[in-house]
Structure 1
Amino acid sequence: MSIQVGQRVPEAVLQHIDDGVHRIDTHALFEGRKLVLFAVPGAFTPTCSERHLPGFVEHFDDFRAKGIDVACMAVNDAFVMQAWGKSQNVPAGMRMLADGNGDFTRALGLELDASGYGMGVRSKRFALYAEDGVVRGLWVEAPGEFRVSSAEHVLANLPD
């Protein structure tokens, strides 16, 4: 079963690159802040690169104006996430997080078996809004869809 609104974000370790590879515990990542974490099935894939990440880049300042941090995650390695972020002109302050083995994705119950496409186990496309580590909003896409996890939809549906 996947994580639900009102539940605490599970603990796992993600990676990101900032002057070297760094590990970050999800409790530390979410603690004491408002954060939108959106996840994509794969960096450099068509919908992820043409629509999903660009929407959050475009609306990054809108989230920040509401006091909300933004992070992107994929079941990829930290080097791929860094390169993808650079290629997409991700603004400073938006973390590009790697869930290399899919541990956090599985803990959330949001894994996707993309083996039929040669991609192995990945993350479903979703957006999660948490306050101090407690999920306040969750938008999970149906397979092949891109609507509810878009930056525009999340902004319009943030809880008060």
Structure 2
Amino acid sequence: MIDVNSKLPSVEFQYFAEGEMITATTEELFAGKKVVMFAVPGAFTPTCSNTHLPGYVVNYDKFIAKGIDTVICLSVNDAFVMDAWGKSQNAENIIMLADGGADFTKAIGLEAETGIFGGTRSRRYAMVVDDGMLQVLNVEEPKKFEVSDAETILALL
């Protein structure tokens, strides 16, 4: 697993912005910015849809007030699914980032094999990144939701 004070690995992601699919690198998303990124096992899944993403949507302005430039939600899903999920959750201010091939998730060592649930997925976590360097990493134990929620991360800023 990636260590705090490490540089994030360089990969390509996809997301939608203003109806257009964007391909962006780690450097483009994180360089020169303070970013909160949280990852979920899957879009449209119960804890992810009922609690995890909504907490960041509701608290988005508080993150900005604390000096965060960007809030990102990552999942090992495709960009179309992430875009539809974001729209269904009123997450217009959050980048709904697709790690479709799990390249980033594997590179940081936070993948989980789920079998029939969708194969390789991300573990649930939240991180604070400053100019591409990992500052905080809160990883949930399997089937838990205690340390990666919006309120916990806000308290750390």
- TM-score tier by shorter-chain length is over 0.9
Q: CA offsets, 1:87-133, max 9 Å, x none?
A: 000133x1000000100100111001111x43200000000101000
In structure 2, what is the Cα distance between the partners aligned to 1:133 and 1:33? 8
Report what 2:28 is aligned to.
28
3-state SS of paired residue (1:149): coil
Give yes or no for the alignment of 1:4 onto 2:26.
no
Q: Which moved more, 1:13-22 or 1:120-129?
A: 13-22
Aligned length: 155
How much is the aligned-residue C-alpha RMSD, in angstroms? Answer: 0.9
Report deviation, 1:27. Answer: 1.4
Report what 2:58 is aligned to.
58
Normalised by the length of structure 2, the TM-score is: 0.96
- Contiguous gaps of at least 5 residues in structure 2: none
In structure 2, what is the Cα distance between the partners aligned to 1:118 and 1:105? 17
In structure 1, what is the Cα distance between the partners aligned to 2:4 and 2:108? 12
In structure 2, what is the Cα distance between the partners aligned to 1:140 and 1:42? 16
In structure 2, what is the Cα distance between the partners aligned to 1:73 and 1:12? 13
3-state SS of paired residue (1:36): strand
Letter of the 1:87 partner, please give it: S
Letter of the 2:99 partner, please give it: D
Report what 1:15 is aligned to.
14
Report deviation, 1:53. Answer: 0.1
Give yes or no for the alignment of 1:149 onto 2:133.
no
> Stretches of 4+ moved more than 6 A in 1?
none
- Contiguous gaps of at least 5 residues in structure 1: none
Report deviation, 1:15. Answer: 0.2
Report what 2:76 is aligned to.
75
Percent identity among equivalent residues? 52
In structure 2, what is the Cα distance between the partners aligned to 1:9 and 1:97? 15
